[in-house]
């Protein structure tokens, strides 16, 4: 198993920031606003990590195509009402600082929009930590490999030297599609058994286990 990685790419929601529950709730409230069937928690959490339109098409599959912008607006209304109260998982800042001190390149590949990620980076004061970022409104949505391919090209790192860390099967499938190693985190959106089915290097159950795995293997 290669663990000599030069580039470590993180998903954002459910991996670095404890936001999966807020995203799922915003999807449910948006559907309720339009009188649509409200997806249960499992369905609402499954779409986390996808681009917004792809996520809403899965959460509300019977909505006419022309009405998704309205559903998107209601989602943004509910999510941004809570976004400033969201926090990083414990130890996230210290872990990123440690990785940077080891000379690792750090990046983000997220289903968030550029506006949403920039807001979160400013709120968390992590913007300067990352060497590059990609968002779903700039690339094909996960699990397409475009985000990882563009990050690797920008930072001149090969797939063999790149690690993708995420809390959803979308993240791990994207890693596979890009020929990149994947590491699953079981404290975010998708159940641990779904993550393990994608055969990542490992699945860690807590932020503390994530830090310990990286310190031991990277």
Catalytic (active-site) positions = 11, 13
Q: Strand pairing of 181-185 and 7-10? A: unpaired
Length of the chain: 218
How many other CB atoms sit within 10 Å of the CB of residue 218? 16
C-alpha–C-alpha distance, residues 105 and 55, integer Å: 29
C-beta separation of 147 from 109 below 8 A: yes
b or e along 109-127 (b: 16 or more beta carbons within 10 Å of the residue's beta carbon)?
A: bbbbbeebbeebbebbebe
3-state secondary structure of 2: coil
């Amino acid at each position: 198993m290669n663990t000599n990685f030069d580039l470590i790419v993180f998903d954002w929601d459910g991996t670095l920031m404890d936001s999966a529950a807020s995203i799922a709730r915003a999807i449910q409230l948006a559907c309720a606003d339009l009188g649509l069937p409200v997806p249960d928690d499992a369905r609402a959490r499954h779409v986390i990590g996808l681009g917004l339109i792809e996520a809403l098409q899965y959460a509300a599959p019977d909505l006419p195509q022309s009405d998704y912008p309205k559903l998107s607006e209601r989602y943004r209304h509910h999510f941004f009402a809570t976004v400033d109260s969201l926090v990083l998982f414990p130890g996230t800042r210290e872990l990123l600082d440690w990785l940077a001190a080891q000379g690792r390149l750090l990046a983000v590949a997220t289903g968030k929009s550029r506006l949403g990620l920039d807001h979160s980076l400013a709120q968390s004061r992590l913007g300067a930590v990352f060497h590059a970022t990609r968002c779903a409104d700039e690339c094909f949505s996960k699990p397409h490999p475009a985000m990882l391919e563009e990050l690797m090209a920008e930072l001149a790192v090969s797939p063999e030297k790149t690690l993708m860390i995420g809390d959803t099967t979308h993240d791990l499938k994207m890693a596979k599609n890009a020929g990149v190693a994947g590491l699953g985190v079981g404290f975010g959106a998708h159940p641990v058994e779904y993550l393990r089915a994608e055969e990542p290097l490992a699945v860690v159950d807590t932020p503390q286990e994530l830090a310990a795995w990286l310190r031991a293997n990277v």
